[in-house]
Chains A and B, each alone.
Chain A
Amino acid sequence: MRKDQSLGEYLFAQGVSRRGFLKFCSATASLMALPPSMVGRVAAALESARRPSVIWLSFQECTGCTESLTRSHAPTVESLIFDAISLDYHHTLQAAAGFAAEEAREAAMQENSGKYLLVVDGSIPMGNPAYSTFAGISNLDMLKETAANAAAIIAVGTCAAFGGIPHANPNPTGAVSVSDIIKDKPIINVSGCPPIPVVITGVLAHFLTFGSIPDLDELGRPKAFFGQNIHDRCYRRPFYERGQFAKTFDDEGARLGWCLYELGCKGPTTYNACATLKWNEGTSFPIGSGHGCIGCSEPDFWDKGSFYRPISAGLWGSREALLGAAAAGAAIGIGSALAARSRKKKAAAEEAKSS
Chain B
Amino acid sequence: MSALEGIAVRVEAMSGNVMPLLHEIRHALRRVAEGGQGTTIDLGSLPMAPGEDKRIEEMLGQGEVRAELNALGPTLVQETRYPGVWFITHRNTEQEVIARFIEVTRMPELLLAQADDMRRAVSELDLTLNSGNGQVSHDDH
The residues of A with any CB-CB pair to B shorter than 8 Å are 16-20, 22-24, 26-27, 29-31, 33, 35-37, 39, 72-77, 80, 233-236, 238-239, 255-258, 275-277, 281-282, 284, 288, 290
Chain B residues, CB < 8 A from A257 = 9, 11-12, 14, 50
**With A17-B71, A26-B101 as given contacts, are A235 and B16 in contact (CB-CB < 8 Å)?**
yes
Contact with A along B36-50 (1 / 0, CB 8 A): 000011101111111
Tier of interface size on chain B: 35 or more
Q: How far is the CB of A72 from chain B (nearest CB, A)?
A: 8
Contact with A along B107-120 (1 / 0, CB 8 A): 00110011111000
**With A18-B116, A276-B45, A284-B50 as given contacts, are A74 and B94 in contact (CB-CB < 8 Å)?**
yes
Q: With the chains together, A235 CA to B99 CA distance in Å?
A: 20
The contact of A23 among B48, B49, B75, by CB within 8 Å, is B75
18 CB-based A-B contacts, threshold 8 Å? A18-B114, A18-B116, A19-B110, A19-B114, A23-B110, A27-B99, A35-B42, A36-B40, A72-B96, A75-B72, A234-B47, A235-B47, A238-B16, A239-B12, A255-B9, A255-B10, A257-B11, A257-B14
Contact present for A233 and B92 (CB under 8 Å): no
Is B93 interfacial (CB-CB < 8 Å)? yes
Contact present for A19 and B117 (CB under 8 Å): yes
Is B65 interfacial (CB-CB < 8 Å)? no
Chain A residues, CB < 8 A from B45 = 30, 33, 276
Contact present for B44 and A17 (CB under 8 Å): no
CB-based A-B contact count at 8 angstroms:
107
Q: With the chains together, A31 CA to B113 CA distance in Å?
A: 25
Q: How far is the CB of B137 from chain A (nearest CB, A)?
A: 23
- Which residue of chain A has its CB nearest to the CB of B9? A255
Chain B residues, CB < 8 A from A22 = 109-110, 114
Contact present for B42 and A281 (CB under 8 Å): no
Chain B residues, CB < 8 A from A30 = 42, 44-45, 99, 101
Contact with A along B83-100 (1 / 0, CB 8 A): 000000010111011110
The contact of B69 among A23, A73, A80, by CB within 8 Å, is A23
Contact present for B72 and A282 (CB under 8 Å): no
Q: How far is the CB of B82 from chain A (nearest CB, A)?
A: 19
- Which residue of chain B has its CB nearest to the CB of A36? B40
Chain A residues, CB < 8 A from B16 = 235, 238
Q: How far is the CB of A48 from chain B (nearest CB, A)?
A: 14
Chain A residues, CB < 8 A from B113 = 19
Contact present for B40 and A282 (CB under 8 Å): no
Contact present for B93 and A75 (CB under 8 Å): yes
Contact present for A23 and B101 (CB under 8 Å): no
Q: With the chains together, A33 CA to B46 CA distance in Å?
A: 11
Chain A residues, CB < 8 A from B50 = 235, 257, 284, 288
- Which residue of chain A has its CB nearest to the CB of B39? A36
Q: Which residues of chain B from 59 to 88 have any CB-CB distance to chain A below 8 Å in the complex?
A: 69, 71-73, 75
Q: How far is the CB of A38 from chain B (nearest CB, A)?
A: 10
The contact of A76 among B42, B52, B92, B110, by CB within 8 Å, is B92
Contact present for A17 and B52 (CB under 8 Å): no
- Which residue of chain B has its CB nearest to the CB of A35? B42
Contact present for A77 and B14 (CB under 8 Å): no
Is B8 interfacial (CB-CB < 8 Å)? yes
Chain A residues, CB < 8 A from B116 = 18
Contact present for B96 and A76 (CB under 8 Å): yes
Q: With the chains together, A256 CA to B71 CA distance in Å?
A: 40
Interface centre among A17, A39, A233 (most CB of B within 10 A): A17
Q: How far is the CB of A246 from chain B (nearest CB, A)?
A: 11
Closest 6 CB pairs of A and B: A20-B71, A36-B40, A18-B114, A74-B94, A235-B49, A18-B116
The contact of A282 among B8, B41, B93, B97, by CB within 8 Å, is B97
Q: How far is the CB of A82 from chain B (nearest CB, A)?
A: 13
- Which residue of chain A has its CB nearest to the CB of B72? A20
Q: With the chains together, A255 CA to B9 CA distance in Å?
A: 5
**With A75-B72, A76-B98, A256-B11 as given contacts, are A233 and B47 in contact (CB-CB < 8 Å)?**
yes
Q: Which residues of chain B from 112 to 134 have any CB-CB distance to chain A below 8 Å in the complex?
A: 113-117
The contact of A276 among B44, B92, B114, by CB within 8 Å, is B44
Q: With the chains together, A35 CA to B39 CA distance in Å?
A: 11
